[in-house]
């Protein structure tokens, strides 16, 4: 239902390297690069990162990327850890959300809570 979402980043190059790595297992890739903002997606840019250029301080944001299956969640997690992400929750079931909710949660280079989730059984 979302058209797009964006985060401001303290270090755009560092964040771009992180998202290049972790979105690949989910079928996402860099589609647009305006040097001050980068758009990711599979067919249109629905996730954006940009230079930190307005507002003060930090507020954690959360975004959950859809994964086609549980192995894609696992691959996202491995890529995130290899990219230096802080682990919030390793891949696993989260029945507190629903019985098939399989997700992994990490912090991106700016401290945002980033998740990959599969809602399918198995």
CATH of the domain at 107: 3.10.180.10
Sequence-separated (6 or more) residues with CB below 8 Å from residue 56: none
**Predicted confidence band of residue 10 (pLDDT cuts 50, 70, 90):** very high
* Contact (Cβ atoms closer than 8 angstroms) between residue 73 and residue 102: yes
Supply the mean pLDDT for the chain.
Answer: 94
| This prediction's pTM | 0.90
Look at residue 1 and tell me whether its pLDDT is greater than 70. no
User: Per-residue pLDDT averaged across 90-114, rounded?
Assistant: 96
| 92 phi, psi to nearest 5 deg | 175, 175
Burial of 31 (0-12, 13-18, 19+ CB in 10 A): middle
Partners of 66 in the beta sheet? Answer: 117
Provide the domain count of the chain. Answer: 1
Which whole-number Å values give the CA distances from 10 to 7, 49, 57, 84, 92, in the listed order? 10, 10, 11, 16, 30
Residue range of the domain that includes 92: 5-52+61-118
Residue found by looking up tokens 């980033």 in the block: 114
Q: Measured on CA atoms in the order 20, 21, 23, 27, is the torsion positive or negative?
A: positive
Pairing of strands 113-118, 62-66: parallel
């Amino acid at each position: 239902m979302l058209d797009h979402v964006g985060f401001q980043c303290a270090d755009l190059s560092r964040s771009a390297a992180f998202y290049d790595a972790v979105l690949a297992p989910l079928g996402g890739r860099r589609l647009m690069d305006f040097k001050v903002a980068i758009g990711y997606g599979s067919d249109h840019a629905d996730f954006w990162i940009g230079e930190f250029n307005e507002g003060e301080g930090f507020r954690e944001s959360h975004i959950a990327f859809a994964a086609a299956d549980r192995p894609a969640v696992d691959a996202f997690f491995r890529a995130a850890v290899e990219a230096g992400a802080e682990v919030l929750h390793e891949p696993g079931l989260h029945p507190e959300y629903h019985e098939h909710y399989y997700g992994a949660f990490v912090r991106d280079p700016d401290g945002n809570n980033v998740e990959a989730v599969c809602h399918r059984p198995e």
